[in-house]
Chain A
Amino acid sequence: MRPNPPTPLLFGGIFFLTCGTLVFELSLIRLFSVAHWYHFAFLVVGIAMLGLGAAGSFLIIFAKWLSRISRGYLSNVAFFFSLAVLASYLITNQIPFDQQKIAWDVWQFAYLLFYFFVLAMPPFFTGLILASLYTNYSQQIGKFYFYDILGAALGSIAVLKVSAFANGLGGIWTAAFCGLVSSVLFNPRLVHFLPKIGILGIVVGTAFFKPSLFLLNLSEYKALPQLLRPANSKILHTQWTPLARLDFMQSPIVHFAPGLSLRSYSSLPEQLGVVVDGGNLNALTKFDGSPSSLSFVEHLPSALPYHLSKISSVLVCEPRGGLDFLSALYFDTFEIEGVGIYNKIANIAREKFHEFSGGLFNDFSVNLHTMSPRAYLKQTSKRYDLISLPISDSFGAASTGIYGPSEDYLFTVEAFMECLQHLSDDGWLYVACYILPPLRQELRLMSLAISALEANGRQYPEKHLIAIRTLETFSILAKVRPIARDEMTILKSFCEERGFDVVYHPGIAIDDVNRFNRFQEPIFHKAFTALLNDSTRTVFLQNYDFDVWPTTDDRPFFGHFFRLDKLREEFEIFGRKWTAFFEGGYLVAALFLQACLLSLVLIVLPLLLAKHRTALPDIKNAKLAILGYFFSIGLAYMLIEIVFIQRFILVLEHPLYAASAVIASLLMSSACGSYVSKKVATSSRWTIGRHILLLAIVVLLYVVLISRILNVWMGYDLLTRYLFTGILIAVPGFLMGFPFPVGIRTLGQKQEHLIPWAYCANGTASVIGTSLAVLVAMEWGFSWTVVMASVFYLIAAALGNRL
């Protein structure tokens, strides 16, 4: 039986359904990043997306469902999607899962499996509708696919606007609403959709009258619940933004002064905690407007540059709670500037805590630029006596957590070079991190500084560097001119007075190290001596148990230290605790393995259980070609998408903006490609293989050109950069829109019943591709990830004509 011709309402239904699915998934990542941790969010949502592929698998096994594409059926499934969105959030919010407990509580694995199952339901319903429609309308696939990815593109933009509302649940409500609209469009008869609106209305009413049911539960191990421990602590202000949840809170146990000397511990003024996503702690420090009341900053390691030189101008990158501004004010700095994309904290402080912060952010002497430090440095020609980078967060702390381990373009060789170029002749670059042995961050910071100095033409970088450490922090100071003898004298007395250890200065003796904060061996000194010595550096980096090579814009994963060839040694170093690997981003590897395993099940299961499998042996070779083709194009698409997102963060300044812009642009151009695919692909001289070959070549061209293009663009204003990004991505995006619909159409002519299986292979490959892209980028860089995508397209090109 042939289905009725598609109507505009049907396309509208698809559009809203895929829009809702994307909004749901992206919102979940945001919510789980707050309730748990970013990498958990990445893992869970990644696996949940397999629900799309599972629908394809389901339809192969229960083939009779394929013919159920009546208006009523589609409408009901779309409504189930809507209910599943709300139910999955409510259920997962109540499940007592906590990843912290995994190390000792086996029940947590059961909870985790339940999480996967529940969260996979909304994408499953979406997949059920899409796979059914693709099978029944295989010859009009271009148009269907167009509305499918156009909806997803809109969802990726809409999530930016809606996720901050309703206590962070705006995305969930929007996704449910999209499902309802989709349901209505599929079957717009009053008698059908009124009861559905009624049911959803009851849920909305419940949320209105009993909001506590819907409020997000945070892991008890996160910073926010910990800070709320004392009886007299409370949250003063909470704000959800598209980028993060910010909590300003009062608690007697707030203590944020990285590296403060233990000798002056009690001098820290009252602070308000500023907690980002329930986890990362920063603080607003009480300031009465008089710099003399800030004497505690004298006891911070960040006071060192002010002692070494007269600092007249300072640029604070990512000032957050403004602690570095207080130092600058205390030391009477004439010109104080801050630059960062997280200036929301400053805005809230200005509006809500003006008196507490002594008008710090309103002060005319503090000039705040809201943009990424890299973009600002590209656009300004000013030079500073001090450029201060933010203290590097603990390992793997992602800014949004959308796509795995954090890419940080402020901690790359190129970024350090940019900073050095904006220093005055006697200016200092100051950068710090928390100490957490075994040494990794500290060594990477040092190797970054060395590489940047060398790239800036300093033949002897060891003459331009100073390093100190406190109980909890490690700091590096680099300058363009060689360190002077009197500066070394000041450095020694500064550290002596505060109980800080000098780790390195030119000509340091081993007796001068490891005195106050003592390791059993002077491990810092030994490692740095090896790193700073030109003849031993490469051997040291090659043999060290962790990857501490300098990070670059092509591989900007500052928090990734694990080496595939040293995993055994690293496992021993961490006391045979596998959980330590999660912090370095290897949870992505866990996702990859799980996704591979589940994908295998989803792909193989239909072959074992399908009722019409008797017909399958005749097309054995074709089956492999189908699998290979759709799997390859799915993998290649996601590899490129993820690389583009990570690469464009550099020019679009924030991972969330980059993700939205890239996904929207890529999907919209792919939608256009899909729409016109029928005309092009049916041309007698143009085969699917040739098309994909062209696509692979275009993608490879981007590998060569992209670094240069992005470097030039950084100097333009944000709007222009967005525009250029859209155009640059649209070219491959348009071509990437062809392979899927052309493949489905071809399959529809010969083996229509296998379309759900192809859909399943493509869907599961997308999930595998997401984690594979991050893994390959972490190990070998973005360029090789794109090369890998091209290889997958070449495989698809070879298989395309055998469908």
Chain B
Amino acid sequence: MKVQGIALSIRQQEELVGSDFLDEGPIMCIHAVITALVLTLLFIPSQERDKYENLHAQMVKDIIKSGIKDKRVIAAMESVKRHLFVPENLRNVAYDDHPLPIGEGQTISQPHLVAWMTQELQLKESDNVLEIGTGSGYQAAILSEIIVSVYTIEIKTKLADQAARRLKKLGYSNVQAKCGDGYFGWPEAAPFDAIIITCAVNHVPPRLLEQLKIGGRMILPLGSTFYYQTLIQVTKQKDDIKVDYLGVVAFVPMTGQAEKT
């Protein structure tokens, strides 16, 4: 079943989000939306649309081929247009299986990794999930397609604002986004059924462990090395905590503000 995230058609999404990486203006009113939609249909060459559609379809095929089996995850990967979450100059490579820069020294993760981490969370539709590291909002959008309630935190103000606006424009009303330090979680919305950290950390943040429900899962790239970490899943049980090592990944570390000393 679809949740709120897919309220608008794909083409509407495409047009609505437009060049969000460049345009920081106010939300369009509905008339503007309709006008833009009509103009888009008139002037965007169908070849251009097909290009993204073909690339997107190929990306989903590749994801399935790589071993992703969860149908809900595959459906989410099919419906969320990745090219709407990357800067305009990189849209041609938006569906390639590698990370892309989104500004502020951060990246959008490679599609296969997003699908893999989402699958490993073993989500139920009713789950309440916290994401640390909103970035462009792509992972939050994928989660939004699968579950009822998504909370996402981004430390970089500019990215947080852009992502919140983009998610809202695209109709992902079940996503709550805020700017803040994900290390401390979102206590007001806790406990969570699952927590996903999308930036490298060198230990399991204790506050996040506290905000996880009994039976909840947390997935994170552990190890603050330059170029790769171990993806682990922590499962909180009543009297115990189990850890599963899932594989080697490469994430950008959680960053702070550039320091002058």
Contacts and interface: CB of A to CB of B under 8 A. Distances in A.
Contacts of B183: 229-230, 253
Nearest to B227: A579
Contact of A225 (B181, B252, B257): B257
A263 interface: yes
Interface stretch (B9-17, B31-39, B188-196, B237-245): B237-245
A228 interface: yes
A142 B183 CA distance: 63
Interface in A184-224: 212, 215-221, 223-224
Interface in B98-150: 99-101, 105, 107
Interface residues of A, number: 60
A544 B232 CA distance: 24
Contacts of A376: none
Contacts of A499: 240-241
A403 interface: no
A193 B244 CA distance: 69
Interface stretch (A294-302, A435-443, A593-601): A435-443
A229 B259 CA distance: 10
Nearest to B242: A516
Nearest to A255: B203
Contact of B259 (A218, A438, A519, A577): A218
Nearest to A578: B227
A225 to B, nearest CB: 4
Interface string B164-207: 00000000000000000101100000000000000000111110
B261 interface: yes
A583 B225 contact: yes
A101 B209 contact: no
A220 B257 contact: yes
A517 B243 contact: yes
- Per DSSP, chain A at the interface is loop
A473 B184 CA distance: 24
A98 B226 CA distance: 11
Contacts of A220: 105, 255-259
A229 B257 contact: yes
A516 B239 CA distance: 13
A669 B237 CA distance: 68
Contacts of B240: 263, 499, 516
Nearest to B112: A575
Contacts of A226: 253-256
B248 A574 contact: yes
Contacts of B259: 217-218, 220, 224-225, 228
Contacts of A262: 204, 209, 234, 241, 243
A518 B105 contact: no
Given A100-B252, A472-B222, A218 B258 contact: yes
Contacts of B241: 262-263, 499
Interface in A209-252: 212, 215-221, 223-230, 235, 238, 247, 252
Interface string A664-696: 000000000000000000000000000000000
Given A218-B261, A228-B256, A437 B248 contact: yes
A471 B261 contact: no
A247 B107 CA distance: 29
B228 A577 contact: yes
A395 interface: yes
A227 B201 CA distance: 12
Given A104-B107, A394-B225, A518 B243 contact: yes
Interface bracket on B: 35 or more
A519 B245 contact: yes
Contacts of B243: 262, 471, 516-518
B245 A517 contact: yes
Interface in A556-592: 573-575, 577, 579-580, 582-583
B245 A217 contact: no
Contacts of B252: 100, 221
A220 B253 CA distance: 9
Interface string A429-461: 000001111100000000000000000000000
Contacts of A4: none
Contacts of A268: 206
A227 B155 CA distance: 13
B157 to A, nearest CB: 13
Contacts of A230: 181, 183-184
B226 A37 contact: yes
B260 interface: yes
Contacts of B229: 436
A425 interface: no
Nearest to B182: A229
A493 to B, nearest CB: 16
Nearest to A39: B226
A574 B229 CA distance: 10
A472 B203 contact: yes
A217 B261 CA distance: 7
Contacts of A364: none
Contacts of A99: 226
A103 interface: yes
B250 interface: yes
Contact of B256 (A227, A266, A516, A579): A227
Closest 6 A/B residue pairs (Cβ): A225-B256, A229-B256, A225-B259, A517-B243, A262-B241, A226-B256
Interface of A: 37, 98-101, 103-105, 167, 212, 215-221, 223-230, 235, 238, 247, 252-253, 255, 262-263, 265-266, 268, 281, 394-395, 434-438, 471-472, 499, 516-520, 573-575, 577, 579-580, 582-583
